[in-house]
Amino acid sequence: MNRIQWLAFALFLVLFAVAGSEVGAQVEADASGPWLPGEPLDLETLDAPALQLLLASGDVSAEALTAAYLARIAAIDDVGPALNAVIEINPAALAIARELDQQFANGGPVGPLHGIPVLLKANIDTGDEMATSAGSLALADHHAAEDAFHVARLRQAGAVILGKTNLSEWANFRDENSSSGWSSAGGQVRNPHVLDRNPCGSSSGSGAAVAASLAPLAVGTETNGSIVCPAGANGIVGIKPTLGTVSRSGIIPIAHSQDTAGPMAKTVSGAALMLGAMVAEDTSDPGSTAYPDGIPDFRPDPGQTRLDGVRIGIFRSYYGAGAFPETEAIFDEAMTTLKSLGATLVDPIEYSPPDEVWEARYALLLHEFKHDLNAYLANQSDIPADRNTLEKLIAWNTANASEVLPVFGQDIFELAQATDGLDSRAYRDAFALSVELMRTELSAWFEENSLDALLIPVNGPAWKTDWVGGDRFSFGGTSGLAAVSGYPSVVIPAGMVRGLPINVGFVGLPFAEPQLLQFAYALEQATLARRTPAYLPSLEWAVERGVP
């Protein structure tokens, strides 16, 4: 960022502070609460549960809160550091908030998310004026006829759909040499902690937006790591739910064997609050899965921060193990903290998924992508005929390469197009050697060691965004445990390495989200590791100026 951009950023922060003061002057609050009358709303500090209390008490209106977040997006995402995290603002956001305020006046909160602004990843359908583009110019004018099932659930819970977030184009499933966070429709998402660093994963805009307090909550989607990796790189909480417990209807797909939407939030309690609103059985989703005993209360008990009797396995067989001492020191600190809270650690768990799992997983994704994307496109009446199949998209991208393919190509599209369908022997073998094998081995692993959860390192320090070399994953392989099996995971901030966030996570058996969230909450409260982004232009810039 040059000097002029920094001056512009400072100016807009001043304007934002003034706007925030005006918003604060419009509402009243109990002086004993986290916000005082006449002060601007501290959007960097307030998480979703704190906002829930302010809204439910009437101390803050939905319209004032929505206006405050819109002002912050204008100041930080559109100019200033220009994160490119939000690809589109919902033009109806303030009208929705005003309607919620009227409903509140007539009968109180409409639901648990009453008045709370939520951002959605741009591969999620909304039946409104916003596009569902998957970040691609090919679908820049695609407007879905109706909300995705889980979006309808969020609206019923009282959420204000604030806008849509930028993402890695086609959820990072277009080319092997991609740059995470780049899309032809939205440009490159920046990591708010250090701007030249990558935000990771396809839900990069959702992760950066929550970290930068552009919204208290955002929805991400994951096939393999696209919730947990951007949560880690941006230093926030992410939940990858048990496969099928959050509906896939209305999401531009990669693969039904692994796809899911999930919450991204500042705190474990905020993510749990959102998950409760998203989860429900959906008869239009063939893979929808109901909780065995009904939808639980996912919110962690704040009085239960001890982990006595809990057995947690330590997963150390990950790619890059031993190469990053600073990152591993944070992982070790998390283990020490869990032990101090009463947990029994099984360290290490002696297991490493066989190589054929990862090879088969990729073949599975290619087969399902072609099938699932073609099915989605065929059901959208407004998509032009020259873009309504994967084969036609490949041709359209080629014809518009200067705009759509300037950074990386479409090798994955072409590999997927060459697959033989879900009735082929190649697909059946891939499913057996990936999903079925991982579920069998992971379940046996839990049983043999009497585990309640696995603790995993989630990410190393974010790499520099590179449009020539693409992404540089020098650490990882842990997200695949939950992704391939379809089992749940919850990831949380655990520390910082040179100004860049490091997360750890918990993986459990199906429907273990309430327990995982309680474990994550206990660790979160013991460490308080989340940090507000510094918006540093680069680490080199900070070192030269003595910035800590």
Instruction: State the DSSP string of 123-135.
Output: TB--SSSS---TT
Query: Is residue 387 one of the residues assigned to a domain?
Result: no
Query: Is residue 426 one of the residues assigned to a domain?
Result: no
Contact 137, 404 (CB under 8 A): yes
Domain enclosing residue 71, as ranges: 3-355+431-544
Query: Is residue 391 one of the residues assigned to a domain?
Result: no
Q: Rounded CA gap, 450 and 352, in Å?
A: 18
pLDDT at 394: 98
Q: Rounded CA gap, 316 and 328, in Å?
A: 10
Q: Which residues of the chain have pLDDT under 70?
A: 1-39
pLDDT at 36: 52
Q: Rounded CA gap, 479 and 258, in Å?
A: 12
Helices first, then strands: H and E counts in the chain? 19, 13
The pair of structure tokens assigned to 297 is 């209360």
183: CB partners within 8 A, 6+ apart:
87, 122, 133, 134, 135, 136, 166, 167, 168, 169
Query: Is residue 400 one of the residues assigned to a domain?
Result: no
Cα 13 to its chain centre, rounded Å, is: 26
* Residues, the chain: 548
What percent of the chain is helix, strand and coil (3-state, nearest 5)?
A: 40, 15, 45
Contact 235, 199 (CB under 8 A): no
- Residue 26's Cβ-count burial label (10 Å; 0-12, 13-18, 19+) is exposed
One-letter-per-residue 3-state SS of 65-124? HHHHHHHHHHHHHHCCCCCCCEEEECCCHHHHHHHHHHHHHHHCCCCCCCCCEEEEECCE
pLDDT at 173: 98
Q: DSSP secondary-structure letter at 436?
A: I
Q: DSSP secondary-structure letter at 465?
A: P
Other beta carbons within 10 Å of 352: 13
Q: Rounded CA gap, 393 and 413, in Å?
A: 9
Residue 148, SS3 per DSSP: coil
Query: Is residue 64 one of the residues assigned to a domain?
Result: yes
Tens of pLDDT, residue by residue over 228-284, are 999 999 999 999 999 999 999 999 999 999 999 999 999 999 999 999 999 999 999
pLDDT at 38: 57
Model pTM? 0.93
List the catalytic residues. 121, 202, 226
Contact 207, 236 (CB under 8 A): yes
Contact 490, 238 (CB under 8 A): yes
Contact 65, 55 (CB under 8 A): yes
Query: Is residue 380 one of the residues assigned to a domain?
Result: no
One-letter-per-residue 3-state SS of 28-52? CCCCCCCCCCCCCCCCCCCCHHHHH
Q: Which amino acid appears at position 464 of this protein?
A: K
Q: Rounded CA gap, 452 and 429, in Å?
A: 31
Q: What torsion do the CA atoms of 151, 153, 156, 157 make, to the nearest 10 degrees?
A: -100
Query: Is residue 86 one of the residues assigned to a domain?
Result: yes
Residue-wise DSSP of 239-304: EEPPTTSS--TTB--S-TTT-EEEEEESSHHHHHHHHHHH----TTSTT----TTS----S--TT-
Q: Which residue has the tokens 């921060």?
A: 305
pLDDT at 13: 42
Contact 232, 149 (CB under 8 A): no
Query: Is residue 249 one of the residues assigned to a domain?
Result: yes
Residue 301 φ/ψ region, left for φ over 0, alpha for ψ in the -120 to 50 degree band, beta for the rest? beta
Q: Rounded CA gap, 339 and 347, in Å?
A: 11
Cis amide bond preceding 40, omega within 30: no
- CATH code, 194: 3.90.1300.10
- Residue 339's Cβ-count burial label (10 Å; 0-12, 13-18, 19+) is middle
Residue-wise DSSP of 336-402: HHHHHTTPEEE--------HHHHHHHHHHHHHHHHHHHHHHHHT-TTS-GGGSSHHHHHHHHHHTHH
**Total domains in the fold of the chain:** 1
